[in-house]
Structure 1
Amino acid sequence: MAKREQLERTLKPQWVWAIAFGSAVGWGAFVLPVDWMSMAGPLGVILGFMIGAILMIIIGVSYGFLVEKLPVSGGEFAYAYYGLGRYHAFLCGWFLTLGYMSIVALNASALALLGKFVLPSIVEQGFMYNIAGWEVYAGEVIVACLALIVFAFLNIRGASLSGLSQYIFCLILIVGVVLLTIGMVFHPSSSFSNMQPLFKPGIGAVSSIIAIVAIAPWAYIGFDNIPQAAEEFNFSPKKSFKLIVIALICAGLTYSMTVMATGVGQPWTAAMEEGSVWGTGTIVQNAFGTGGLVLLSFALLMGVFTGLNGFYMTTSRLLFAMGRAKVLPNIFSKLHPKHNTPHIGILFTLALTIMAPFFGREALLWVVDMSALGVTIAYFYACFVAYKLFKWNDKKVPNERPFMIVAPGRKFLSLLGTICSAAFFLLLVVPGSPGFLSLPSWIALFVWIGLGGIFFLVRFKSYRAVPKAEMDHLVLGDYVDEDPEKDSSHLKDLAAISSVEDIK
C-alpha cells in the first residue's frame, strides 16, 4: 500500500467559517452592485441572493453529511469517487480546479480595478495593449502579480497563519460593510425612492429574480471550501453543516447590504447609465467624499484578500488530493518539509494565475463565467452521492455502503439539492435563459474540456492501473470502512504501517 501524506489538524471552527464566508463574498459585493441592479433592479437582486442562499443551504445539507463521514481533502472529488468511482472523480475534480483557479485570478484583477479608481496616476502607468475593450497597464499587472505572490507565500507558511489571517480579514470586512450601510442609509442625500423601480423594467419581477438566482452558484462559491479543508479540522466534522449555514447567511446579508447601500445613494438607473468603472465607489464618494471612499476601498481590499487567501487554500488542497490519488503527478502530493503544506499545489496555482493579469479583466471574466458551470457540476455530484447514501427506510438495499443511514428528511433535501444543481446547470446552458453563457465563455469551456480530454488520455493507463483498495486508501484514508468518530491518531498509524510496508 502506497504511503498516504496527511495534513495537520490546525484549523479552528471560526477560521473555517471565515474561509467559507470570506471566499463566498470576495470582491463582488463591493464592485458589482450596479451591474446586478442593471440585471434585476435592487429588490430583484436582494430577493435573488436570499433565495440563492436558501438553495445553497439545501445543497449544504448534503455537504454537511459528507464532510462528517469523509473529512478528507478533495471535497467533491473524494465524494464523487466514493459514490461513483474514479472516472467521475476525475471529471468533477477537473472542472472544480478550473473554477477555483479562476476565482484566484479574478480576485487579483479586482485589485487592479480598485487601483484604477483610487490611484489611477500610479496604476495606469505603462500602457501595454487593449484586450476586449480593457486597457492593460504595466502598473495594474504588477499590483495583481504582487498580490498573487504574497498570498502564495502566506499559504505556504502554514494553514494556521492563513486561517487566522482570514478570520481577521473577515471581521474587518463585516465592520466596514455595517458602517458603510448605516452611513449610506442615513445620509441626508440618500432615499429609498432611489431604489425605484424595484425590478428591472421590461422583464418583470419573476424574471429579474431568476436572473440573479442563476448566478448564485458563482456568488456563493466558497461555502464549499469547508469540505476542502476538512482534513485539517481540529474539531469534530459534525460542526461543518452549522458553519456552512452561518457562512451562507452572512454572505447573503452582505450582498443585500451592499446593494442597499448603493441603491439608496442615487437612482440606480442613472448610475447604470453613467457607466462608471466602479459604480458603488462613485456613489459613496459623492455622498461622503474621500473618507467614505477610503472606508469602502478598505472593505473591498478585505474582500479581495479573503478571496485570494481562501481560494489559494482550497485550490491547493484539491490539487493535493488529486495528486495523492495519482490523478495528477505524484509531486502534487508532496508536503513542505517545514510547514507541512501542499506547497506544490500553491506554487502551481501561482504559476498559472500570475499570467491572468496580462489578459485583461474582460477576457478573464469569460473564463470565470464558464467556471460557474464547473462548480455547479461539483454541487450536483455532492448532492447526488449524498442522496445515494441516505435511505427512505431501514429496508436493506443491494450493495449497501458503510455510511448509508435512514434519514428520509435529509434524503428529500439531497434530492432537492440535486434538482437545484441541475437547474443551475440548465440556466447556464439553455439558450434564452437569464444565465446563458456568452460565446467567449463557451469557447473557453470547450478549450478546457479539450485539455481535460487530452490529459485524461495521457494519464488513463496509470490511473486505471491503481488497485481499488489502494485508491480507496489514497482518496478516503481510513474512513471508508471505519467509524469516522474514532480518534484521528489511527490515520497516523495507518501512514506509519504503509511506510513500513514500503520499506519491506
Structure 2
Amino acid sequence: MEQRQQLAKTLKPHWVWAIAFGSCIGWGAFVLPVDWMSMAGPLGVIIGYSIGALLMIVIGVSYGYLVEKLPVSGGEFAYAYYGLGRYHAFFCGWFLTLGYMSIVALNASALALLAKFTMPAFFTKGHLYTIAGWEVTIGEIIIACLALIFFAYLNIRGASLSGLSQFIFCVGLVVAVVLLTVGMVLHPSSSFSNLQPLFKPGTSSVAAIAAIIAIAPWAYVGFDNIPQAAEEFDFHPSKSFKLIFWALICAGLTYAFLIIATGVGMPWMNTVDAGFMWGTGTIVENAFGRFGVLILAFAVMMGIFTGLNGFYVSTSRLLFAMGRAKVIPDSFGELHPKYGTPKLGIWFTMAACLIAPFFGRQALLWVVDMAALGVTIAYFYTTFVAYRLFRWSDQDTGKTRDISLIAPGRKLIALIGVISSIGFFLLLVVPGSPGFLGTPSWIALLVWVALGGTFFLTRYKNYSEMPKKDLDLYILGDFKDSENSAGSLTTEPEAK
C-alpha cells in the first residue's frame, strides 16, 4: 500500500478561531439584514440567531469531541466513515463539498455586488445579459474571478500564510463592525423607535423566530471548518470546542450588532418597502455619507475575504481527504511539492467557482439555499456518531473500556444535537414550513443528486472492493479505537 500523505501541523489556535469565526461572518451579515427583518422583524431576527447560535454550540459539543478523537482532515467525512461506513462517508462528503464550494462562489459574487454599490459608474457598465432578473456585467465577472484566483494562490502558498491572513482579516472585521454599530446608535438621526414593530406584522412571533432558526445552519456554517483543519493543528485538539464556542458567540453578537446598526437608522418597515439594492449600505450612506460607506465597504470586504479564505481551506481539505481515501481521483490526495498544500483541491475549487459569476447572483442563490441542506446532513452525521460513541452508564455495554465514553451528559447533548439537526432538515424540506426550499433550489438539488449518483457508480467497484484496513489508514490515519482494533465502529466485512 502506498504511503499516506500527511498535512503539516502549522495552524495556531487564534488562526483556527479566525477560520471558524470569519467563515461564519461572510457577505450575508452585511447584505441581508433588511431581508431578514422582512421575514421576522428586528427582535425576531436577533432572537432567532441567538437560539441558532445556542443550537450550533450544542452541535459543536459533538464536533469538539470528534475533533479530539479523530484529528484528521475531512471532518464530517471521516466521522461518517468511522461511525457508519464508507457509503455514508461518500454521501456526507458529496453534499458537504457542494455546500462549501457554493459559499466560496457566493462570496466572490458578493464582492461584485459591493463593487456595483460603491463604484456604480464602472461596475454597472458593460451589460452582457440578464439571468433571473439579475443583470450580469463584464465588470462584476472580472472582479469575482480575480478574487477567486487570488485566494486560490494565497492558499496554495501554505496554511501558515492563509491562517495568518485570516486572523488579520478578522481583526479588521471586528473593528469595523464595532465602529459602525456605535456610530449608527449614537448618530442624531438614529432612534431605537425605528426598530418598531419588533416582529413582522401579521406573523406570530414564534413563526417569525422559527423562520430565522431555519436558516441558522447556513448563517453559522463555518464553525465546522475547524475539523477540516484538525490535521494541521500545532496544538492539542482538545482545545477545539473552546474555539468553536467562542467563534459561535462572536458570530452571534456580530449578527445582532448589524441588525441593530441597520434598524436604528430608519424605520425598518420603510426600508423593506423601499426595495433598496443594498439596505444597510443606503442607511449608512444617509447617516455618514461616503465616509460611512467606505467603513462599511471595508467591513464587507473583510467578511468576504474571511469567507473566501476560510472555505477555500475547508473545501480543499475535504477534497484532499476524499482523494486520499480513493473516493474521488487519487490526484486530489497529493500535496504541493514545495508548500505541502492540497493543490488540486484548491485549483479544482477555483475552477468550479469561476463558472459561477457568469450565471448571475440570483441563480447562484438557488444553489446556496439548497446547499444548506448539505450542511444540515453533515451536522446530523457528526452528532449521531458522537451519540453512538457515548454511553449512558458502564452497564450500557460490556465492551466499553474507555471510561471517558461513559458520559450521560455528553450523550444527552449529542442526542439534542441529533434532534436539532433533524429539525433543521425538516424546516427545509416539509412543505409549508418557514424555511421550505423554493422550486429552483429543489431543481438544483436534484441535479446535484444525479451528478453524485453518476459519479458514485463510476467509482463504486474500486471503492467497494478496497480493504477496510486500508480505508481505515487512509481516512483515520494511525488512529486505533480502544474498542475496535480495526479503527472504526463499523463492522463491515473485509472486501475480497
**Which TM-score bucket, shorter chain as reference?**
over 0.9
In the alignment, the residues of structure 1 paired with residue 139 and residue 177 of structure 2 have an alpha-carbon distance, to the nearest angstrom, of 28
| 8 Å Cα contact 2:401/2:482 also seen in 1 | no
Q: Tell me the CA shift for residue 481 of structure 1.
A: 3.5
Give the SS at the match of 1:339.
Answer: coil
- The structure-2 alpha-carbon separation of the partners of 1:176 and 1:398, relative to structure 1 and needing over 3 Å to count, comes to same
| 8 Å Cα contact 1:391/1:404 also seen in 2 | no
Residue correspondence of structure 1 range 373-392 to structure 2 within 5 A:
373-392=373-392
What does residue 304 of structure 2 align with?
A: 304
In the alignment, the residues of structure 2 paired with residue 480 and residue 181 of structure 1 have an alpha-carbon distance, to the nearest angstrom, of 50
Residue correspondence of structure 1 range 218-257 to structure 2 within 5 A:
218-257=218-257
| 8 Å Cα contact 1:2/1:470 also seen in 2 | no
In the alignment, the residues of structure 2 paired with residue 397 and residue 332 of structure 1 have an alpha-carbon distance, to the nearest angstrom, of 40
- The structure-2 alpha-carbon separation of the partners of 1:338 and 1:49, relative to structure 1 and needing over 3 Å to count, comes to same
RMSD, aligned α-carbons: 1.2
Residue correspondence of structure 1 range 27-426 to structure 2 within 5 A:
27-395=27-395, 397=397, 405-426=405-426
| 8 Å Cα contact 2:180/2:261 also seen in 1 | yes
| 8 Å Cα contact 1:389/1:403 also seen in 2 | no
What does residue 444 of structure 1 align with?
A: 444
- What percentage of residue pairs aligned between the two structures are identical? 71
Unaligned runs of 5+ in 1: 484-504
Instruction: Give the counterpart letter for 1:35 in structure 2.
Output: D
Instruction: Give the counterpart letter for 2:176 in structure 1.
Output: G
Instruction: Give the counterpart letter for 2:242 in structure 1.
Output: K
In the alignment, the residues of structure 2 paired with residue 403 and residue 371 of structure 1 have an alpha-carbon distance, to the nearest angstrom, of 38
- The structure-2 alpha-carbon separation of the partners of 1:75 and 1:346, relative to structure 1 and needing over 3 Å to count, comes to same
- The structure-2 alpha-carbon separation of the partners of 1:233 and 1:286, relative to structure 1 and needing over 3 Å to count, comes to same
In the alignment, the residues of structure 2 paired with residue 273 and residue 143 of structure 1 have an alpha-carbon distance, to the nearest angstrom, of 30
In the alignment, the residues of structure 2 paired with residue 261 and residue 356 of structure 1 have an alpha-carbon distance, to the nearest angstrom, of 31
| 8 Å Cα contact 2:394/2:400 also seen in 1 | no
| 8 Å Cα contact 2:211/2:435 also seen in 1 | yes
Following TM superposition, where does structure 1 have runs of at least 4 consecutive aligned residues deviating by more than 4 angstroms?
Answer: 398-404
TM-score, reference length from structure 2: 0.96
Give the SS at the match of 2:129.
Answer: strand
Instruction: Give the counterpart letter for 1:231 in structure 2.
Output: E
In the alignment, the residues of structure 2 paired with residue 237 and residue 207 of structure 1 have an alpha-carbon distance, to the nearest angstrom, of 39
In the alignment, the residues of structure 2 paired with residue 332 and residue 60 of structure 1 have an alpha-carbon distance, to the nearest angstrom, of 28
| 8 Å Cα contact 1:48/1:209 also seen in 2 | yes
TM-score, reference length from structure 1: 0.95
In the alignment, the residues of structure 1 paired with residue 295 and residue 64 of structure 2 have an alpha-carbon distance, to the nearest angstrom, of 36
- The structure-2 alpha-carbon separation of the partners of 1:311 and 1:31, relative to structure 1 and needing over 3 Å to count, comes to same
Unaligned runs of 5+ in 2: 484-496
| 8 Å Cα contact 1:402/1:480 also seen in 2 | no
Q: Deviations over 1:255-289 (max 9, x none)?
A: 00000000000001111111111100000000000
| 8 Å Cα contact 1:389/1:401 also seen in 2 | no
Give the SS at the match of 2:200.
Answer: coil
> How many equivalent residue pairs?
483
Q: Tell me the CA shift for residue 120 of structure 1.
A: 1.0
| 8 Å Cα contact 2:99/2:368 also seen in 1 | yes
Q: Tell me the CA shift for residue 151 of structure 1.
A: 0.2
- The structure-2 alpha-carbon separation of the partners of 1:104 and 1:47, relative to structure 1 and needing over 3 Å to count, comes to same
In the alignment, the residues of structure 1 paired with residue 482 and residue 14 of structure 2 have an alpha-carbon distance, to the nearest angstrom, of 28
Give the SS at the match of 2:234.
Answer: coil
In the alignment, the residues of structure 1 paired with residue 184 and residue 446 of structure 2 have an alpha-carbon distance, to the nearest angstrom, of 44
In the alignment, the residues of structure 2 paired with residue 370 and residue 99 of structure 1 have an alpha-carbon distance, to the nearest angstrom, of 8
